[in-house]
Amino acid sequence: MAESKRDYYEVLGVDKTADDSTIKSAYRKLAKKYHPDMNPGDKAAEAKFKEASEAYAVLSDPDKRRQYDQYGHAAFEQGGAGGFGGFDFGSMDFGDIFGDIFGDLFGGGRSRGGGRSYNGPMKGANVRASVRITFEEAVFGCEKEIEPLQKDECKTCHGTGAKPGSSPVTCTKCGGKGQVVFTSQSLFGTVRNVQSCPDCLGTGKIIKDKCPDCRGQGYIASRKKLAVSIPAGIDNGQSVRLREKGEPGTNGGPRGDLLVEVIVAPHPIFQRQDTNIYSTAPVSFAVAALGGDILIDTVDGKVSYTVKPGTQTDTKIRLKGKGVPSLRSASVRGDHYVTLVVQTPTKLSNKAKELLKEFDAETDDSLTTVERYKESKAGQDGGKGDKTDKKKRGFMK
C-alpha cells in the first residue's frame, strides 16, 4: 500500500530541491552501505538497499520524478491518481545505475567512454614483515636489519614473463581490456557486473611461451637485507612503513609498501601504558621508618629518591619525565610511576633481634600486645571466672 512506503526523498536523506548530483551521491552512500554483497544474510540491510534503489530509480529519472512530485507513490500504482498505471521496479535495468556508480564495489564498472581498461599501471600489493626489539629499544628507538622476501624484475625477460624472443599476446577473452562484463538477475531485475578477466588476470595479455627463469611471473623472489629505523616511543604491535619495498607494480605501476610490525619483548621490571611506565621499588624497614635516599631503576638508569620518614608500603610516587617519548615529539616524555614496597627482614642476627626488641619496647611494645591483653582481661574478671567454673561443676548452689 502507498501509505506504507516512506517518502523517496526521506529514504535518500535529501531535500525535494536536491539536484541530480546530490541524489546520486546520497544513493551511492546508502547502496554501498546496505548492498547484499557487503551484508551477506542481513535481511534488514537487503530491505534498505531495495528501498534506496527504488527511490533512486524514480528520483534519478526526470519524468518519473516529476510524476512522483505531483502524485506521490500513487503515480506508480495500478489505477493511481496520476493515471500512469503501475510502475514495475522489478523490470528495470539497474545495470546502468550500478555500472555508473558501483565500479569500485563490483570490481570495475561501465565507463561513459565504453569500458574502463584494467591493463593500466597498477600499484603493487603491500607486504608485511615483523621485527623483535627490547623494551629499551622501543623507548629510545633503534636501527634494525631485516631480510624479507622481495620480488624484483626478472633480468631475462625484463618483467614481461615471456620467453626471450617471444612476446605476450592479446587476451582473446577480454580483447585486451583486462575486464569482462556479465549480466545476472537480482531482486531488482537485470544487473550488469564487471570483473577482472579470469584468463589474463586483468593484464589484457596472455603469455604462451613463459620465461624459463621466472616461469612467466616476470619477477624473481629473493631475500634482501633492509635497514629499518624504529622511532623512539613505538609500542608493541605498531608498524613502520617502508615506501615502495613491497610487491612490484604491474604495467609500470609503483611498488607497494613494506609494513614492518614491531614486537616488543616484555621487561622483567617495567610495564608500559601509553607513554607512562610503571614499576615497584623495595624500601628497607629502617629507611621507611626513618626516611632516607633509595635507588630506583628507570629506563635512564638508576636515580636517587628521598623517602619520607614513616613511609608505608604501597606508597606511590611519580618520576616526572622518566617515561616513554611521544611518537609525535621525542622531546615530550611520559612519567614513571613507582610503587614503594617496604621490605621485612627475614634473617636477623642475635644482636639485631635484641636491638629490634629494644626498638619495639621504645615504640608501641607490639611484641607483648597479646600478653598484656590477657592480663588485663584476667584483672577485669577479678577471680569471678573460678566461681563460675565451680558452679558449673556443682560445688556451689
Q: How many residues does the chain have?
A: 397
324-351 per-position pLDDT tens digit: 999 888 889 999 999 999 988 888 899 9
- Identify the pLDDT of residue 218: 83
d(CA 264, CA 94): 52
DSSP H helices in 35-134? 43-59, 62-71, 95-101
User: Residue 379 corresponds to which amino acid?
Assistant: G
Domain 127-264 class in CATH = mainly beta
Query: What's the rounded mean pLDDT across residues 180-200?
Result: 73
Residue of 231, 227, 254, 232 lying closest to 242 (CA atoms): 227
Taking the chain, what is the end-to-end CA distance rounded to the nearest angstrom?
101
**Sorting pLDDT into bands at 50, 70 and 90, what band is 303?**
very high
13-22 per-position pLDDT tens digit: 999 888 988 9
Strands 336-343 and 276-284, by their bridges, are parallel
- Outline which parts of the chain fall under CATH 1.10.287.110: 2-92
C-alpha cell of 118? 584494467
Task: Determine the topology of domain 2-92 in CATH.
Answer: Helix Hairpins (1.10.287)
Q: Is the pLDDT of residue 46 over 90?
A: no
**Sorting pLDDT into bands at 50, 70 and 90, what band is 79?**
very low
Query: What's the rounded mean pLDDT across residues 356-361?
Result: 86
Percentage, residues of the chain above pLDDT 90? 33
- Identify the pLDDT of residue 389: 53
**Sorting pLDDT into bands at 50, 70 and 90, what band is 186?**
low
Query: What's the rounded mean pLDDT across residues 59-79?
Result: 80
Query: What's the rounded mean pLDDT across residues 274-284?
Result: 95
- Outline which parts of the chain fall under CATH 2.10.230.10: 127-264
93-149 per-position pLDDT tens digit: 454 455 444 444 444 444 333 444 455 677 888 999 999 999 999 999 999 999 998
User: Which of 62-66, 167-171, 375-379 bottoms out in mean pLDDT, i.e. has the lowest?
Assistant: 375-379
Question: Quick one: CATH architecture of 271-343?
Answer: Sandwich (2.60)
Query: What's the rounded mean pLDDT across residues 280-289?
Result: 92
* 28 contacts 101 by C-beta, under 8 angstroms: yes
Query: What's the rounded mean pLDDT across residues 148-154?
Result: 87
- Identify the pLDDT of residue 385: 52
Q: Is the pLDDT of residue 217 over 70?
A: yes
- 49 or 86: which carries more pLDDT confidence? 49
- Outline which parts of the chain fall under CATH 2.60.260.20: 271-343
Q: Is the pLDDT of residue 70 over 90?
A: no
